[in-house]
């Protein structure tokens, strides 16, 4: 895990990049890479690359970045981990390649030298990187298929800038802060900013599973090299008998866990009272990991209640022989940390506070890498949405009528405005439930489009919705159609909520503490293996199979406990009488009892976008 950045003045009329800007951008990401730093310039100083390092593989200075190939033709800056690095290295060495380091970064250089831009298809891992090619005078950027690692860019028509964080690009001082209506509207609708948009018109995310080429002619359009819906279509094949689910799950997840243990430093695990993290701990032990440290986040307000996860987590840790630490957080620490949380939050999110505190606790324990169970619900149908979305859509195919829905909503808004304000999603059912995208919006949305003009300028809302085109954007994640309700929801949750919120939150919250968070359940190799069973997976069966995957299965009361989520009592904290920290203006809740809507207001205010 690291922070990377660069500037390429590709146009003849572009001014040479300024070292002050390159350094300011890099140093804004200091928390991402506390173990080392580097700068590189090409001969005519039209290209500058920067890097902050969190040392995980090859802890020596030989692995510092930017890293150049031995002949000097290629220079790379890289953030992430390549989990099939040992296999790739063995293959390259068999072809006569001599390595100078034991870093996966060097493997990227050799792969690019041999395979060019096609090399990205050979990688398994979480990654965002840029390779400068001196001979072709071009810059190649790539991002992993799930979008675990972020990469943002700004192109003003003369110079191309990129970095691991939006705020880092802004810190350089040369990128406009003009607002992006689609980013603001998207955040208000979903609780996250949908990629490729950001809150700023001139900054875009390189989409997950895409590459980008920039040369003296400028930046080409991003190109897709990976698509989860296509993987599902390619791998689903004939239905797999339900009896095969447990062994397929065990074999697939164990193999992914084993690959994700690649490290020259200790690897810990976030441990809740849920199935996903408990199963990961058991499978880490099965993979040969010894003396595992497990960190559990607990809340003072929940102590002694059913919501307190610490007692059950302690039982799981004891069962698998892990060294267990419980970190309790209360309202006082939340309010004390709130300004730092909002500053670290690279793009606004209604989530992420939980990850901030468990990452903080893990780093306080001296651990630099931690496994997370993120992704289990998306892969194995663990969310209520796997029941709700198909059911609502079935009703919608019979009753939905967009024009009638809009007319009904408009009439009720005039005749009974209180009802319209109290039940916005119920009023939106006729309008949206006729499509998978609309039904998903009903299930996951924070605000529906017709609500936005209550607190955003009407012109901004129209422009934002036009640019975002939210239903088309959601529907695109289902192409090609997997022809299965469970598979559709799996793809929707993986490419919307998980990618744009959970994975993004894991990145900023972990990296704010210099912690690498690994997600073995978010792995394309595992997804390929599980695709044949996902299409016909019964809700509940996947999580039961995961609970039984370790050689010593999880305790029955963990499995029977049901899904509670990784809950943080921010709603109660925000509604308490305690004073809001200095520097954060108090926001009146827009809807009583809906903490996510209050938090939306707060993070937008802190971002200067409200």
For the stretch 550-567, pLDDT in tens is: 999 999 888 887 665 556
DSSP state at residue 298: E
- Mean of the pLDDT values across residues 485-495? 97
pLDDT per residue as tens digits for the range 271-285: 999 999 999 999 999
pLDDT band at residue 295 using 50, 70 and 90 as cut-offs: very high
Tell whether the torsion through CA atoms of 236, 242, 243 and 246 is positive or negative. Answer: positive
**Longest pairwise C-alpha distance within the chain:** 78
pLDDT digits 0-9 by tens, 371-418: 999 999 999 999 999 999 999 988 877 565 565 556 565 656 556 565
Output the pLDDT for position 351.
Answer: 87
When mean pLDDT is compared across 83-87, 416-420, 517-521, the lowest value belongs to 416-420
Please tell me the predicted confidence (pLDDT) of residue 579: 41
Query: For the chain, what percent of residues have pLDDT higher than 70?
Result: 88
CB 471: neighbour CB atoms within 10 A?
Answer: 17
Q: Is the peptide bond before 66 cis (omega within 30 degrees of 0)?
A: yes
Instruction: Please give the sequence-ordered ranges of beta strands (E in DSSP) within 193-317, or none if there are none.
Output: 204-205, 210-215, 218-219, 223-224, 267-270, 293-299
- SS3 sequence, 464-502? HHHHHCHHHHHHHCCCCCCCCHHHHHHHHHHHHHHHHHH
Residue 195's pLDDT is 98
Task: Tell me the per-residue pLDDT of 69-86, one tens digit each, with 9 for 90 and over.
Answer: 999 999 999 999 999 999
pLDDT for the residue 415:
63
pLDDT band at 354 (very low <50, low <70, confident <90, very high): very high
Structure tokens at 545: 């199979």
Residue 340: per-residue pLDDT: 96
Phi-psi region of 516 (alpha: psi -120 to 50; beta: other; left: phi over 0): beta
Q: At 190, is the pLDDT very low, low, confident or very high (cuts 50, 70, 90)?
A: very high
* Segment 2-28 mean pLDDT: 97
- Rounded Cα–Cα distance for residues 399 and 289 (Å): 54
DSSP 182-198: HHHHHHHHHSB--TT--
As given in the structure block, the two tokens for residue 449 are 């489009």
Report the range of poorest mean pLDDT among 21-35, 179-193, 574-588: 574-588
* Structure confidence at residue 578 (pLDDT): 34
**What would the pLDDT profile of 56-70 be if each residue is shown by its tens digit?**
999 999 999 999 999
> Is there a contact between 184 and 120 (Cβ–Cβ < 8 Å)?
no
C-beta neighbour count of 190 within 10 angstroms: 24
Cα separation, 527 vs 380, in Å, equals: 10
Q: What is the arithmetic mean of pLDDT over 280-297?
A: 97
Instruction: Please give the pLDDT value at position 408.
Output: 60
Q: What is the pLDDT of residue 424?
A: 66
Neighbour-count burial of 583, counting CB atoms closer than 10 A to its CB (0-12 exposed, 13-18 middle, 19+ buried): exposed
- Domain spans in the chain, listed from the N-terminal domain onward: 2-226, 238-380+493-577, 385-476
- The pLDDT value recorded for residue 410 is 61
Catalytic residue list? 2
Strand order in the sheet with 293-299: 323-329, 293-299, 267-270, 369-371, 516-518
pLDDT value at residue 397: 72
Judging by DSSP bridges, how do beta strands 152-155 and 204-205 pair with one another? Answer: antiparallel
Q: Rg (Cα) of the chain, in Å, rounded?
A: 24
d(CA 458, CA 453) in angstroms, rounded, equals 5
What pLDDT band is residue 305 in, cutting at 50, 70 and 90?
confident
pLDDT at 414: 54
Residue 454 has pLDDT above 80, yes or no: yes
CATH level 3 topology of 238-380+493-577: Rossmann fold (3.40.50)
State the pLDDT at residue 605: 78
Query: Higher-confidence residue: 396 or 156?
Result: 156
Computed over every residue of the chain, the mean pLDDT equals 90
Residue positions forming the annotated binding site for ATP:
372-373
- Topology classification of domain 2-226: 3.60.20
The pLDDT tens digits of the residues spanning 202-257 come to 999 999 999 999 999 999 999 999 999 999 998 877 778 888 999 999 999 999 99
Are the beta carbons of 82 and 123 closer than 8 angstroms? yes
Neighbours of 180 (CB within 10 A): 22
pLDDT the model gives residue 371: 99
| pLDDT tens readout for residues 126-144 | 999 999 999 999 999 999 9
> pLDDT band at 584, cuts 50/70/90?
very low
């Amino acid at each position: 895990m690291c922070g990377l950045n660069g500037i390429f003045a590709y146009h003849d009329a572009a001014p040479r990049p300024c070292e002050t800007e390159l350094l300011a951008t890099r140093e804004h990401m200091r928390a991402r890479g506390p173990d080392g730093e580097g700068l590189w310039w090409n001969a005519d100083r039209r290209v500058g690359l920067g890097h902050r390092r969190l040392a995980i593989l090859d802890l020596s200075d030989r692995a510092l970045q930017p890293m150049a190939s031995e002949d000097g033709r290629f220079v790379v800056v890289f953030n992430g981990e390549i989990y099939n690095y040992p296999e790739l290295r063995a293959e390259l060495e068999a072809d006569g390649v001599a390595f100078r380091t034991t870093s996966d970064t060097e493997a990227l250089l050799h792969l690019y030298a041999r395979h060019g831009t096609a090399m990205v298809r050979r990688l398994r891992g979480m990654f965002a990187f840029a390779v400068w090619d001196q001979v072709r005078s071009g810059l190649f950027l790539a991002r992993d298929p799930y979008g675990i690692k972020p990469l943002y860019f700004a192109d003003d028509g003369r110079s191309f800038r990129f970095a691991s964080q939006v705020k880092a690009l802004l810190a350089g001082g040369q990128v406009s802060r003009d607002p992006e209506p689609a980013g603001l509207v998207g955040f208000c609708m979903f609780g996250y900013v949908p990629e490729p948009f950001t809150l700023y018109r001139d900054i875009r995310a390189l989409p997950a599973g895409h590459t980008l080429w920039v040369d003296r002619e400028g930046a080409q359009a991003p190109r897709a090299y990976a698509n989860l819906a296509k993987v599902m279509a390619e791998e689903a094949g004939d239905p797999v008998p339900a009896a095969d689910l447990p062994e397929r799950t065990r074999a697939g997840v164990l193999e992914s866990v084993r690959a994700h243990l690649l490290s020259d430093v200790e690897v810990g695990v976030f441990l809740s009272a849920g199935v996903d993290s408990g199963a990961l701990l058991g499978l880490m032990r099965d993979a040969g990991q010894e003396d595992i440290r497990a960190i559990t986040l607990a809340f003072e307000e929940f102590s002694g209640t059913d919501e307190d996860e610490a007692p059950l987590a302690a039982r799981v840790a004891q069962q698998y022989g892990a060294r267990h630490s419980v970190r309790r957080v209360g309202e006082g620490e939340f309010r004390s940390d709130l300004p730092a949380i909002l500053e670290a939050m690279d793009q606004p999110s209604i989530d992420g506070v939980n990850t901030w505190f468990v990452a903080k606790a893990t780093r306080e324990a001296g651990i630099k890498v931690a496994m997370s169970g993120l992704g289990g619900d998306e892969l194995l149908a663990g969310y209520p949405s796997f029941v709700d979305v198909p059911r609502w859509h079935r009703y919608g195919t019979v009753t939905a009528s967009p024009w009638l829905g809009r007319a009904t909503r408009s009439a009720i808004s005039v005749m009974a405005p209180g009802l319209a304000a109290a039940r916005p999603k119920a009023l939106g059912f006729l309008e949206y439930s006729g499509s998978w995208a609309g039904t998903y919006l009903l299930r996951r949305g924070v605000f529906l489009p017709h609500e936005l003009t209550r607190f955003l300028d009407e012109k901004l809302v129209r422009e934002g919705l036009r640019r975002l085109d939210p239903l088309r954007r959601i529907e695109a994640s289902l192409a090609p159609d997997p022809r299965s309700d469970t598979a559709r929801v799996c793809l929707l949750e993986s490419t919307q909520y998980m990618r744009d919120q959970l994975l993004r939150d894991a990145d900023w919250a972990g990296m704010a503490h210099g912690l690498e968070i690994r997600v073995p359940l978010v792995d394309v190799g595992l997804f390929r293996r599980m695709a044949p069973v996902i299409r016909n997976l019964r809700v509940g069966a996947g999580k039961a199979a995961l609970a039984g995957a370790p050689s010593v299965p999880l305790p029955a009361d963990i499995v029977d406990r049901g899904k509670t989520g990784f809950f943080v009592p921010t709603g109660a904290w925000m509604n308490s009488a305690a004073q809001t920290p200095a520097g954060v203006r108090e926001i009146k809740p827009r809807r009583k009892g809906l903490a996510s809507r209050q938090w939306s207001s707060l993070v937008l205010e802190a971002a200067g976008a409200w």
